[in-house]
Amino acid sequence: MKAKGNREIRYSHRHTVRFSEAEEASLREQAASAGLTLSEYLRRRLFGGRPIVARTDDQTTRELRRIGGLLKHNFETVRTTGRREDLEEMNRTFRALRQAIEALIHPA
* pTM over the 0.75 mark: no
Domain that holds residue 16: 4-47
Same domain, 66 and 96: yes
* Residue 53 pLDDT level (bands cut at 50, 70, 90): low
What is the Cα–Cα distance from 36 to 41, expressed in whole angstroms?
6
Same domain, 75 and 100: yes
Least Cα distance to 89 among 69, 101, 75 occurs for 75
What is the Cα–Cα distance from 36 to 22, expressed in whole angstroms?
19
What is the Cα–Cα distance from 45 to 58, expressed in whole angstroms?
18
Domain count, the chain: 2
Least Cα distance to 42 among 65, 14, 63, 72 occurs for 14
Q: Are 56 and 63 in contact (CB under 8 A)?
A: no
Same domain, 75 and 98: yes
Same domain, 67 and 42: no
Please say if the pLDDT value at position 85 is more than 60.
yes
* Residue 86 pLDDT level (bands cut at 50, 70, 90): confident
The DSSP H or E segment spanning 12 is none
